[in-house]
């Protein structure tokens, strides 16, 4: 099966991860090379993976056993904000797909998937990060041979997962395009970031 979307996503995710690691700094400025007016899907995919890449490194930093408590609190709030940004971007990607497929007439026996296309993309983006970092561990010169060998085995599993997930996402998009499945965009309605729904935040108003 041809995988035009999966190939595009892989290419952009690798571009993001390579660009980030030039400076390897979660506080570096962000610049999206794709114009949202002419390359909206590419723009959204790039932004999605950048959010995941920065948060990956936030998560590394916050696990430092010697982290300053004030710094840890600031970092935790950055992670919370990043998670909200991640969720919002997933919904933007699903809205893009929903518009792309709005003309499709669903078949009478069409079914809905347990996961929307963009939440599959979310997993694919994070998987690209796992592959990058596991490959780094599998070739790390200062690691033991046993460590590199163990990481190489894990890398092989991750690469297999990457192929399987890419195939599944492409199959889902093809099914939606041909009316065999349909999709909806459900807002996540997270409560803990909302000062009307989180009782702790509500009392601070």
Q: What is the pLDDT of residue 169?
A: 97
pTM (two decimals): 0.91
Given a cut of 80, whether residue 201 has pLDDT beyond it is no
pLDDT in tens, 175-193: 999 999 999 988 776 666 6
Higher-pLDDT residue of 187, 97:
97
Tens of pLDDT, residues 124-147: 999 999 999 999 999 999 999 999
d(CA 179, CA 194): 36
Beta strands in the chain (DSSP E): 111-112, 181-182
Domain limits for position 41: 4-202
Number of domains in the chain: 1
Which is nearest to 126 in space by CA: 76, 88, 77, 90?
A: 90
> CB of 82 within 8 A of CB of 58?
yes
Q: What is the mean pLDDT of the chain?
A: 94
Calculate Rg over the CA atoms of the chain: 19
**Which position has the higher pLDDT, 188 or 111?**
111
- CB under 8 Å to 140, separation ≥6 — which residues? 147, 148
């Amino acid at each position: 099966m041809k995988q035009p979307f999966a190939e595009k996503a892989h290419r952009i995710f690798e571009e993001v991860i390579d660009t980030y690691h030039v400076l390897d700094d979660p506080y570096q400025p962000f610049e999206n090379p794709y114009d949202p007016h002419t390359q909206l899907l590419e723009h959204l995919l790039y932004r999605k993976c950048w959010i995941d890449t920065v948060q990956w490194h936030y998560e590394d930093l916050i696990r430092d056993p010697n982290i300053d408590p004030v710094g840890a609190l600031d970092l935790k709030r950055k992670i919370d904000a990043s998670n909200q940004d991640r969720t919002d971007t997933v919904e933007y990607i699903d809205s893009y797909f929903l518009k792309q497929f709005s003309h499709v007439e669903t078949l009478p026996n069409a079914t809905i998937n347990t996961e929307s296309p963009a939440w599959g993309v979310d997993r694919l983006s994070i998987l690209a990060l796992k592959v990058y970092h596991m490959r780094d561990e599998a070739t790390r010169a200062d690691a033991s041979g046993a460590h590199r060998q163990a990481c190489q085995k894990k890398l092989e599993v991750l690469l297999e997962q990457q192929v399987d997930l890419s195939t599944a996402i492409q199959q889902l998009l093809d099914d939606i395009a041909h009316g065999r499945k349909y999709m909806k965009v459900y807002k996540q309605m997270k409560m803990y970031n909302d000062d009307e729904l989180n009782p702790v935040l509500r009392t601070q108003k």
